[in-house]
Structure 1
Amino acid sequence: MDGDILDNIIGEVEFKQVEFAYPSRPEYIVFKKFCLKIPAGKTVALVGSSGSGKSTAISLLQRFYDPLGGDILLDGVSINILQLKWLRSQMGLVSQEPTLFATTIKENILFGKEDAGMEEVIEAAKASNAHNFISQLPLGYDTQVGERGIQMSGGQKQRIAIARAMIKAPKILLLDEATSALDSKSERVVQEALDKTFVGRTTIIIAHRLSTIRHADLIAVVQDGQVIEIGSHDELMVNENGFYPMLVQLQQTEQVKIQEKGNKDLSMNGSAYITNMESNITSSRMLSLHSRTSSANSTTSAHASLAGDLNNGDKKTFTPSFRRLLGLTLPEWKQATLGCLSAILFGAVQPLSAFTQGSMISIFFLTDHGEIKEKTKVYALSFLGFSLFSMAINIIQHYNFSYMGEHLTKRIRERMLSKVLTFEVGWFEQDENSSGTICARIENDATVVKSLIGDGMSLVVQAISGVTLAWVMGLFIAWRLATVMIVVQPLIICSMYTRIVIIKTMSQKAIKAQQKSSKLAAEAVSNHRTITAFSSQDQILKMLQTAHEGTRKENVRQSWFAGLGLGTAQLLIACIVAFDFWYGGKLISQGYITAKALTETFLILFNTGLVIAQTASMTSDFAKSVEVVESLFAILDHCTGIEPADSNGYLAEQITGRVEICDIDFAYPARPNVIILKNFSITIEAGKSTALVGQSGSGKSTIISLIERFYDPLKGVVKIDGRDIKSYNLRSLRKHIALVSQEPTLFSGTIRENILYGAPDKTDESEIIEVTKATHAHDFIAGLVDGYNTRCGDRGVQLSGGQKQRIAIARAILRNPSVLLLDEATSALDSESEKVVQEALERVMVGRTSVVVAHRLSTIQNCDVIAVLDKGKVVEEGNHSSLLAKGPTGAYYSLINHQSRAHDST
């Protein structure tokens, strides 16, 4: 909170001689004397190749990093001396990869402006073209988006992220590929809305689609960390040899190809167009009528099917089996045996020591001082012997139990992780199974079980050993007193049992709250850039506080009962001590026992009571362990709905790649009331390329997920090579399928390791280099100091969006798959890289089944089949030429027209 605050911010931004390198790669200089002045209230676009430093400029302006040299000014004041929270509150950010939190749509939008009303939320959603699809959801703005927005399509997430930025009404708007995930129609609508918000506001835009920045006041071309050209669109186009005209030419060439081919096709098929137009009008009316009449039936049947699936799901209640848990320690049976023997011996020390204490007291009543001294030496040496014996036996005991516990921890974590990796995607979409919660369970559950088996087991064995020996000794010394003391000891046990029940109830609520807080914490850490950009730390902490508030109040109430239980136990112990002395005194007066026998018996059995109390004091740990063991076996025994390694499944040595989707009904498990696909059918021929186009949320990515069998349909069947996909051994089938997603996923290892995930068996360096050259990635990798050994960072954070996408494509090509699934595979690339990578992909797609999801229609015009989707159905199907021949009434023609208008002015 330290720093200055400007009373009246105008919005002028200036980069002066900025030099910068990322802390993780200090030897790789991103900016070299970078200079750029952005006038207040103007829109400046940054264009250039992927990795040229565009996104870095936005990160520096928000002070995610500080430059190594130079300065960044806001209204002539260095941002280093401004209050950081205030500075970021003046900026609204929409990133290339939108980050949503696992809460409702409304709460995600409110991250932009915490105190906004519902009217403002709706207005922002309308401005970002998100209100319509949100209103169609059963819960509307209260719909949960899932972890990292997994329940939303890429375009839907992006529009929510734009609404979050718009509601903030910032002085400076930062758009890093803000419309990259939108279809053509949505892009045009959202772009018009964005253009309105630019007025009177300083705006910095990063875009690969030059159509989105043609009206910018200034366009700065960034290359190798420097601004090499700057000016308006018209000014930059004057220099025909400039870098910007070259980028424009690349995009124009692709668009002209579509338009020329479309005009040619239309001229050749004029008569066909008239005929098709009439038939299409009739077909569309019939399709509309059919969809209306079948909608209710399909929805009802889907709901019924879904209900059956849920009822038949894994709803077992898992009773904790400590015998089964002990069975996991069988490989360490030698250590378990030694540990138990040591615990038995150590348990015997307690009653023997108590007996020695009781006997020692009697020597102080002797009259012969010499005898007192001699016996005192004997007892002193006895206690010394007990201490040395206890030390030695404790070392042996704890070493063996620790050895066993460590190996058990390793074994449990490996089994849990290997089991979790087999679960269906729908399991992870449940709130209680978020990645943060699962990681916390894998980390903590094994540790608690180790404590249970190590500390708990040793304590129980010691208690059994000590109690058994104490009872035998007590009965032998003074059976009358011992019998009475043993009879009343269950009162203590009963009071402690009540305490166990109370603590177990409390622990259940506490564990649930802990899992929710772990989930929030994991999201906060992984999405720290978004939280920092919107200064939402307080909001995250409030969400964390809310998660604990109900549990805290309940725990306060329960603590009264726990206190009463503990107080009762303490009272019973005091009463039992008084009763024991009263009865012992009565036995002495009647001549049944001696005073020495009383002290020996009392100390032996009273210390036994302390052992029981000590064991009972572990009840909180035991109660927690019961929950953990239940949680552990719930995972280990969970029957996944989609078994990836079914031993009875058909092993696919080779596949041709013919895909048939027949009469599919589908809804995501987390939103069973929202039917995504209705009576959906499509055939994808082997060795052919099929493109899926349509508006965001129409079901394109869902089809990819069904082919990969991430989910099973509610009704219908998915076939590959004529065989139901459910009959395959899924792992063997997926070896022949490669996926490149819209949001590329990289691991925190090196670039080489990430590429090798595509084909772990291939280690030939020449093959890796070949695929990176094919995807236009080799040059930038070779330019890094560590080359292919460069670490990508958590989820690839050290690389730009385009660089990550090219590595993901290289990973897929290395597999040499029979079926290639491309879900917006080139969305994050600049024009030059997209052209090169698209040519490489088209070469790779030859002779193999390819399914392409794309919003940029220039990337799919050469596909053998193009299927146009709308509201979960195929409304048109054919190749580029035949679909264009349908003219203005055709859905594909309409999509082409939207993109053409977007590119005309460029």
Structure 2
Amino acid sequence: MGVGTLGALVHGCSLPVFLRFFADLVDSFGSHAGDPDTMVRLVVRYALYFLVVGAAIWASSWAEISCWMWTGERQSTRMRILYLHAALRQDVSFFDTDVRASDVIYAINADAVLVQDAISEKLGNLIHYMATFVAGFVVGFTAAWQLALVTLAVVPLIALIGGLSAAALSKLSARSQDALSAASGIAEQALAQIRIVQAFVGEERAMRAYSAALAVAQKIGYRSGVAKGLGLGGTYFTVFCCYGLLLWYGGHLVRRHHTNGGLAIATMFSVMIGGIALGQSAPSMAAFAKARVAAANIFRIIDHKPANAAGIELDSVTGRLEMRAVDFAYPSRPDAPILRGFSLTVPPGKTIALVGTSGSGKSTVVSLIERFYDPTAGHILLDGHDLKTLKLRWLRQQIGLVSQEPTLFATSIKENLLLGRDSESATQAEMEEAARVANAHSFIVKLPQGYDTQVGDRGLQLSGGQKQRIAIGRAMLKNPGILLLDEATSALDSESEKLVQEALDRFMIGRTTLVIAHRLSTVRKADLVAVLQGGAVSEMGSHEELMGKGEQGTYAKLIRVQEQQEAVNAARRSSARPSSARNSVSSPIMTRNSSYGGRRLSDFSAADLSSVAMGDGGRQAVAFRAGASSFLRLARMNSPEWGYALLASAGSMVCGSLSAIFAYVLSAVLSVYYAADPRYMERQIAKYCYLLVGMSSAALVFNTVQHVFWDAVGENLTKRVRERMFAAVLRNEMAWFDADENSSARVAARLALDAQSVRSAIGDRISVIVQNTALMVVACTAGLVLQWRLALVLLAVFPLVVGATVLQKMFLKGFSGDLEAAHARATHVAGEAVANLRTVAAFNAERKMAGLFEASLRGPLRRCVWKGQVAGGGYGVAQFLLYASYALGLWYAAWLVKHGVSDFSRAIRVFMVLMVSANGAAETLTLAPDFVRGGRAMRSVFETVDRATEVEPDDPDAAPATGLRGEVELRHVDLAYPSRPDVQVLRDLSLRARAGKTLALVGPSGCGKSSVLALVLRFYEPTSGRVLVDGKDARKYNLRALRRAVAVVPQEPFLFAASIHDNIAYGRPEATEAEVVEAAAQANAHRSQET
């Protein structure tokens, strides 16, 4: 930061220093007009000074850009790491009430990018511009202190206008970030559960919710444009009026011989550059305003201290658990108590089974023992010590958890098994033994890379049963004193369940174990059974004791219902065998295959279909349309706003022209200062002062027009881009989502960042380009008219500057792509950790997940050093060539004057006007990093929008799926998933589910049961054979109409962040209140909603 600050300061001061030399040169022109040889000698001297200034700018700009880019990357990396560390340290309840998981992903993506932009390039720019502002006034005081004092009087007014503008922008930015965060949460939620969305044909509903959230941010963006336009317009209004005052007072001083023309113009130029620099700092101030809001979101989590940090560690643990008069309600629903006066004692080394209806609080007990939450009343004790007095990390190290929904992370099987236990403390043999006991070793060793096999996003490379066995092995490897088994075998087929249950029975010996189970076989083996009803223990005893109560006991009634249901299920299975089932299922498919769910043979609580997703992994690359980043195409997308763009462009052109006219006025005044007649000088200066007053009014009006309409264009385009990207993503077939680059976290990141980068390039950046183009056109025209020879020489060197900058852009483009891709990988790691916070917390894996996140950020940090060197060096070369062109132009101007081809007045006007245009060109070139990011973002946008889905969901020629009887038949079906085309999942499978009948699919985990469900829903297409619905090929039906006729209940239930009513009616939004209540009642959920 020190070197970067020094570079920015030197770079910023160099232009006022150049102007001081220029003032001496001008005075040499005026003082030695009658001595051409002396004049040329002095001009050559000052031309060499200009080269020295150019070299200083080369070195300082190199230091400024490279150091600030590296500093910004390093600090943002540290901020991201600290943020994720802090987020993973928080209590689980914190994410129920204060922060959503989607907020964390948005902070790591968009908020961190805003902060990085502010503390790198924008902070360097601010220091640079402020140095220019200060140096300009210093030069002004040394050249003509009277003029500097007059200028100083209006500086507070300029600062006041800038401060008011920044305050307004800060408030609007905070509101905009909140709205965009809400929209990002909606998109991420839909993408994370895309199978549910598509199965229930909820794409349009998700699209409407996303669009409505974006509309809120869009309206706030309109107001930001008004605030920005008035702020900059007011600044330039004040600056031009100030210069009018300076021109008049400068003439007054010259007429009274208090100064000469050169010194007077030095003050004016210095103040002019200082004022422009102050205005140019406004975009940096706007970036800081956005970054302050983003940083507040980040540091709110970093600074938040969890309540469970302190505590003691026990020397030994016997495992006695007690819950005394516990009351509990989830923080998100404090008015809906789950446990009331709950008391339970688990003797050390014993196994207690918790049974009860759905919603009775069984899983809540597990959450309280893990201290995901603390009870609102009562106490939970371990060996006589309240859990609140124990060190949380130590407590969770004593507990092994296998939850109902197995959670694996996108790393190797080995790393997933070692989760919660340091790799140094577990040997390969111990890990394999734990996997063997969990009945997982046999399928792991058959995988291509064994224990080093990557499991994919959310473990989707494996079937549901395979994931659960790895989760059980993970708990076994931890070797805890207390076991919490929350339906640990629910995802396994009957054969695997038996083997794993035997392993669990051995593993539970000598350990205090709480088992939540719906199967009678599991409950019978427990030492004690606790029946939960109404948030309390209604019965407790051994299986035999509770069954002895007969029909008077709640437990006995539950067991009778289960036995009857199992008998009905067995009868259904025997009567629903397919007429032909030639698919081999004797051994499981050990590679990833779609387990959209395994049917549970027990129907104790509900009929569950598991929703284990289709595969993820080495999927073939999708060919996208090349050249989609064209600005012309983006302009066509923005065609509804062409009228706004024309008005905005007109405002930009007028603002740019005003700068050229302003330079011409100053150069004209310079020639007037050397006029011999004082009265003529006074009249001419008054005329130019009146002109500046008129220009100040125009600047106020047209700056407002420029930013109001450009922001409207940008906001509308951003909303349209996000909507089209989201709509295109929702149309993609399921195989597209299985690719690693299309995981939910990465797609959500592209939605958030790509549109923002496009907005940055199209909004303010295009505005600056149009403005500076107008400046150059006006300046070049004036130069050619005044003295075409000098103008051509100055213009001839411009391609050197442009060529150097193009080279700089090429290098920037290459490096920026790698950096963005690396950040996307880091975001994916963070997204998994936060989405599965309970698993991370239960296994004390916060440091390990944070370590994986930190490792994924090291690559961008290393490459940023080279990126900064290339960017800084390229920009420095461009700046040096710019000042070299000034030196050449001045030497040639002197030569023209010496030989009588031109006079001093024309030469200096051409030079000053073109100098201002060159400064505008240099400003435009500094926008190259933004356009590089915008260009890459545009390619990503159009690649997403242009992709043609392989399964058209809205084929108008397809048959409507109305009045279906419900007969489903598979004829000689083969299936291999696109990610693993060489692995056959189904082989010549034929089966029929008759209309109105129940067909049960059974078999080992991974044999392809859920693949059948995926084929019926057309998540995938068979590689050969046909899937028939009512005797017609399923591909001939309209896809969404077909899915409307199918209902699915996944094993891993997911509810959207909406009301219970909306979740029940998700698949049928037009359902009446009575229909929703009836559906809830049939699902045995209506009573729990009322409570």
Give the TM-score taking structure 2 as reference length: 0.65
Change over 3 Å in CA distance of 1:232–1:505 after alignment to 2: same
1:2 partnered with 2:310: yes
The match for 1:581 is 890
Give a deviation string over 1:507-546, Cα, whole Å, max 9, x none: 1111211222222222222211211222222222222222
The match for 2:739 is 430
Give a deviation string over 1:31-56, Cα, whole Å, max 9, x none: 22222222233222221111111111
Does the 8 Å CA contact 2:352/2:528 hold for their aligned counterparts? yes
Does the 8 Å CA contact 1:137/1:674 hold for their aligned counterparts? no
How far, CA to CA, are the matches of 2:960 and 2:421 in structure 1?
54
Deviation at 1:310, TM superposition (A): 8.2
Change over 3 Å in CA distance of 1:147–1:359 after alignment to 2: same
Deviation at 1:161, TM superposition (A): 1.4
Amino acid at match of 2:362: K
Amino acid at match of 2:920: V
The match for 2:798 is 489
Counterpart of 2:514 in 1: which secondary structure? strand
Calculate the aligned-residue CA RMSD, in Å.
2.8
1:247 partnered with 2:558: yes
How many aligned residue pairs are there? 748
The correspondence for 2:1037, drawn from 722, 728, 731, is: 728
Counterpart of 1:136 in 2: which secondary structure? coil
How far, CA to CA, are the matches of 2:841 and 2:679 in structure 1?
80
Does the 8 Å CA contact 2:528/2:541 hold for their aligned counterparts? yes
1:220 partnered with 2:537: no
The match for 1:91 is 399
Does the 8 Å CA contact 1:359/1:600 hold for their aligned counterparts? yes
Counterpart of 1:167 in 2: which secondary structure? helix
The match for 2:365 is 57
Change over 3 Å in CA distance of 1:541–1:375 after alignment to 2: farther
Counterpart of 1:693 in 2: which secondary structure? coil
Deviation at 1:672, TM superposition (A): 2.8
Give a deviation string over 1:247-286, Cα, whole Å, max 9, x none: 22323344566789999x9xxxxxxxxxxxxxxxxx99x9
Amino acid at match of 2:356: G
Does the 8 Å CA contact 1:154/1:742 hold for their aligned counterparts? no
1:774 partnered with 2:1085: no
Deviation at 1:95, TM superposition (A): 1.1
Does the 8 Å CA contact 2:986/2:1008 hold for their aligned counterparts? yes
1:641 partnered with 2:950: yes
The match for 2:807 is 498
Deviation at 1:419, TM superposition (A): 1.5
Deviation at 1:245, TM superposition (A): 2.3
Deviation at 1:380, TM superposition (A): 4.2
Does the 8 Å CA contact 2:326/2:341 hold for their aligned counterparts? yes
Q: Quick check: which one's strand share is greater?
A: 1
Deviation at 1:436, TM superposition (A): 1.0
Amino acid at match of 1:26: P
How far, CA to CA, are the matches of 2:687 and 2:348 in structure 1?
93
Larger deviation, residues 495-504 vs 573-582 = 573-582
The correspondence for 1:702, drawn from 1001, 1004, 1011, is: 1011
The match for 2:464 is 154
Deviation at 1:463, TM superposition (A): 2.3
Change over 3 Å in CA distance of 1:717–1:142 after alignment to 2: farther
Counterpart of 1:203 in 2: which secondary structure? strand
The match for 1:688 is 997
How far, CA to CA, are the matches of 1:649 and 1:641 in structure 2?
15
Higher relative contact order (CA 8 A, sep 6+): 2
The match for 2:789 is 480
Deviation at 1:634, TM superposition (A): 0.7
Amino acid at match of 1:776: N
How far, CA to CA, are the matches of 1:456 and 1:701 in structure 2?
51
Amino acid at match of 1:3: G
Matches within 5 A, 1:585-600: 585-600=894-909
Change over 3 Å in CA distance of 1:664–1:260 after alignment to 2: closer
The match for 1:895 is none
How far, CA to CA, are the matches of 1:756 and 1:260 in structure 2?
33
Does the 8 Å CA contact 1:314/1:639 hold for their aligned counterparts? no
Deviation at 1:97, TM superposition (A): 1.3
The match for 2:626 is 317
Amino acid at match of 1:112: G
1:334 partnered with 2:643: yes
Give the TM-score taking structure 1 as reference length: 0.78
The correspondence for 1:713, drawn from 977, 998, 1022, is: 1022
Q: Quick check: which one's helix share is greater?
A: 2
How far, CA to CA, are the matches of 1:177 and 1:357 in structure 2?
83
Deviation at 1:7, TM superposition (A): 3.0
Deviation at 1:754, TM superposition (A): 1.3
Could you tell me the percent identity over the aligned residues? 43
The correspondence for 1:190, drawn from 500, 507, 512, is: 500
The match for 1:122 is 432
Amino acid at match of 1:140: G
Does the 8 Å CA contact 1:138/1:674 hold for their aligned counterparts? no
Matches within 5 A, 1:827-846: none
Does the 8 Å CA contact 2:879/2:922 hold for their aligned counterparts? no
Larger deviation, residues 191-200 vs 36-45 = 36-45
1:662 partnered with 2:971: yes
The match for 2:376 is 68
How far, CA to CA, are the matches of 1:3 and 1:592 in structure 2?
89
How far, CA to CA, are the matches of 2:570 and 2:810 in structure 1?
75
The match for 1:837 is none
Does the 8 Å CA contact 1:318/1:634 hold for their aligned counterparts? no
Amino acid at match of 1:663: H
Does the 8 Å CA contact 2:399/2:480 hold for their aligned counterparts? yes
Matches within 5 A, 1:324-723: 324-367=633-676, 372=681, 375-723=684-1032
Counterpart of 2:411 in 1: which secondary structure? coil
The correspondence for 1:29, drawn from 337, 340, 345, is: 337
Does the 8 Å CA contact 2:624/2:947 hold for their aligned counterparts? no
Amino acid at match of 2:561: L
Does the 8 Å CA contact 1:112/1:167 hold for their aligned counterparts? no
1:107 partnered with 2:418: no
Does the 8 Å CA contact 2:819/2:863 hold for their aligned counterparts? no
How far, CA to CA, are the matches of 2:1052 and 2:713 in structure 1?
43
Give a deviation string over 1:160-200, Cα, whole Å, max 9, x none: 21122222112222111111111111111111111222123
In structure 2, runs of 5+ residues without a counterpart are 1-308, 588-614
Does the 8 Å CA contact 2:583/2:986 hold for their aligned counterparts? no
How far, CA to CA, are the matches of 1:349 and 1:505 in structure 2?
37
Deviation at 1:552, TM superposition (A): 2.8
How far, CA to CA, are the matches of 1:384 and 1:170 in structure 2?
81
How far, CA to CA, are the matches of 1:156 and 1:318 in structure 2?
43
Change over 3 Å in CA distance of 1:376–1:37 after alignment to 2: farther
How far, CA to CA, are the matches of 1:617 and 1:287 in structure 2?
64
Deviation at 1:632, TM superposition (A): 0.7
How far, CA to CA, are the matches of 1:173 and 1:560 in structure 2?
55
The match for 2:543 is 233
How far, CA to CA, are the matches of 1:591 and 1:412 in structure 2?
60
In structure 1, runs of 5+ residues without a counterpart are 266-282, 293-305, 785-906
The match for 1:204 is 514
The match for 1:170 is 480
Does the 8 Å CA contact 2:974/2:987 hold for their aligned counterparts? yes
The match for 1:44 is 352
Change over 3 Å in CA distance of 1:339–1:256 after alignment to 2: closer
Amino acid at match of 1:554: R
How far, CA to CA, are the matches of 1:35 and 1:254 in structure 2?
31
Amino acid at match of 1:182: L
Larger deviation, residues 220-229 vs 654-663 = 654-663
How far, CA to CA, are the matches of 2:762 and 2:573 in structure 1?
72
Does the 8 Å CA contact 1:645/1:730 hold for their aligned counterparts? yes
